[in-house]
Amino acid sequence: GQQVMQIPQYQHVQEGEDFTTYCNSSTTLSNIQWYKQRPGGHPVFLIQLVKSGEVKKQKRLTFQFGEAKKNSSLHITATQTTDVGTYFCAGQGMMKTSYDKVIFGPGTSLSVIP
Amino acid sequence: EPEVTQTPSHQVTQMGQEVILRCVPISNHLYFYWYRQILGQKVEFLVSFYNNEISEKSEIFDDQFSVERPDGSNFTLKIRSTKLEDSAMYFCAVLLTAGEYTGELFFGEGSRLTVL
């Protein structure tokens, strides 16, 4: 079955440093989504990428979807303490319907040292 | 922004007892999901529900689990005979958009289940 992997599992950075998490799927994805979960909270949608090679930016966050639609990355420039949390990539395989299950990666837990 | 309310926020139960977790989406939605997250671990898909029936389920969703939408509003997850390993946070999610592109999942705040 479809598996989604992420590295690293944990990342500790000094405030102001950059951070990148990488996501890899065992199968081709129709889309990739990124979620953020604060400690004790629930996953919150950040963005969705659909097209091969797509790049999207949200302020200090840059998201990429690989050409083969099997990998993705999230890069945060100049981390802040508000960036603390676990970042999950999630994706759908080649869909039969738009409401097919979304499979989550194991997440990268980001700690920011002030 | 649409809201999804989950109850209870925390339930403690004895092993073997039945548990019902509830999800109430404020806005009209067609697509519902249950996910679970064992403490510190990944968010795992359990089941998707569309048009008042299960559309897909994972291997985790065995005969001990069931879902229904009895009154067109509440979306419930029932665990018939809880096991210790069912202890987890259970998230209800709704699909915000559909069509040409898959929409985002909007998660409720979760129900923490502790099985003793």
Mean pLDDT for A102-114 is 95
Q: Is B34 on the interface with A (CB under 8 A)?
A: no
**Tens digits of per-residue pLDDT, A80-90?**
999 999 999 99
For B34, name the nearest residue in chain A, comparing CA atoms only: A101
CB within 8 A of A1, min separation 6: which ones?
A: none
**What would the pLDDT profile of A46-74 be if each residue is shown by its tens digit?**
999 999 999 999 999 999 999 999 999 99
Average pLDDT for residues B50-58, to the nearest whole number? 88
Confidence (pLDDT) at A99: 72
pLDDT digits (tens, 9 = 90+) for B25-45: 766 777 889 999 999 899 999
C-beta atoms of B102 and A103 within 8 A: no
Say how many domains are in chain A.
1
Q: Domain coordinates of chain B in residue numbers?
A: 4-115
Look up the domain containing A44 and give its range.
4-113
Are the beta carbons of B99 and A98 separated by less than 8 Å? yes
Cβ–Cβ under 8 Å, residues B9 and B108: no
| pLDDT at residue B101, rounded to an integer | 47
Could you tell me the CATH number of the domain that includes residue A46? 2.60.40.10
C-beta neighbour count of A40 within 10 angstroms: 9
* Position B102 confidence tier, pLDDT thresholds 50, 70, 90: low
- Cβ atoms within 10 A of the Cβ of A21, count? 24
Strand order in the sheet with B65-68: B4-7, B19-25, B75-79, B65-68
Give the pLDDT band (50/70/90) at residue B67.
very high
Estimate the share of chain B in helix, then strand, then coil, as percent rounded to the nearest 5: 5, 50, 45
Decide if A102 and B105 are in contact by the 8 Å CB cutoff: yes
Mean pLDDT over A17-33 rounds to 95
For residue A13, the model assigns a pLDDT of 97
Cα→Cα distances B74→A105, B42, B52, B79, Å = 29, 26, 11, 16
* Vertex A106: Cα angle to A102 and A111 (nearest 5): 125
CATH architecture classification, B4-115: Sandwich (2.60)
